């Protein structure tokens, strides 16, 4: 299993779809299009922070179980491993109560005991300006109202999380250096980086 993670707007879904095609693997997209809470959350973070995180936690756990049950190679657009980044951000920012965060962490710990770590974790590192530019171009209404401070804090949480990540092989790709959406050359470069990282895991 390959997981693609990164801040909002870093290009996770685009890379997942590219890898799905190039590597011939199954794809699991982040549950945002059929999420009844996400839009409400951006308008009232304190009210919807906890139910949103539980929604994501449940969906991502289900996706991991499905991927393992298929017993075929797969790539995921974000997963349960980086989910705690958002929960911690919301707790530290006062949008999630301590007892809610404690319950979330307890659920996450129990779930992690029942799944395998990914073979490769890809962190699409994107600076705040790059991420905001892509968010604006994407045009999701509920993302446009979010203040810059939120994206900056999210970016810091991502950097802290992946600086300590040790569950599997980690490949860091600088999102601003590659236009994987519109450049065939850049897509090939990134796919080659992923293939080389996968080959390293095979040699170990």
Question: Binding site membership for substrate: which residues?
Answer: 30, 42, 53, 78, 83, 143
User: What are the structure tokens assigned to 149, written together?
Assistant: 């401070």
**Binding-site residues from annotation for ATP:** 6-14, 134-138
Q: Assess whether 177 carries a catalytic annotation.
A: no
Q: Distance of CA 118 to CAs 5, 81, 141, 147, 198, Å?
A: 12, 9, 33, 33, 11
Q: What would the two tokens of residue 99 be?
A: 């007892």
Give the 3-state secondary structure of residue 140: coil
Query: How far is residue 86 CA from its own chain's centroid?
Result: 10
Active-site residue, selected from the candidate residues 5, 34, 44, 77 = 77
**Mode of pairing for the β-strands spanning 169-174 and 26-28:** unpaired
Residues belonging to the binding site are 6-14, 30, 42, 53, 78, 83, 134-138, 143
- Between the alpha carbon of residue 2 and those of residues 86, 110, 172, the distances in Å are 20, 22, 13
Catalytic residues: 77
């Amino acid at each position: 299993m390959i997981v693609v993670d990164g801040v909002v707007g870093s290009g996770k879904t685009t890379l997942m779809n590219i890898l799905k095609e190039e590597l011939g693997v199954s794809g699991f997209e982040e549950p945002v299009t059929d999420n009844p809470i996400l839009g409400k959350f951006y308008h009232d973070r304190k009210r919807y922070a906890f139910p949103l995180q539980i929604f994501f936690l449940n969906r991502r756990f289900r996706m991991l179980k499905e991927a393992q049950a298929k017993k075929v190679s797969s790539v995921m657009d974000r997963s349960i491993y980086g989910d705690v980044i958002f929960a911690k951000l919301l707790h530290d920012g006062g949008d999630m109560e301590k007892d809610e965060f404690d319950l979330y962490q307890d659920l996450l710990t129990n779930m992690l005991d029942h799944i395998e770590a990914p073979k490769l974790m890809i962190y699409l590192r994107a600076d705040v300006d790059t991420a905001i530019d892509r968010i604006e171009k994407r045009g999701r209404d509920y993302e446009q109202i979010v203040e810059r401070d939120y994206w900056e804090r999210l970016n810091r949480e991502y950097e802290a999380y992946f600086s300590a990540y040790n569950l599997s092989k980690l490949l860091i790709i600088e999102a601003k250096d590659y236009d994987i959406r519109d450049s065939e050359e850049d897509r090939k470069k990134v796919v080659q980086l992923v293939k080389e990282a996968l080959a390293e895991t095979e040699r170990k």
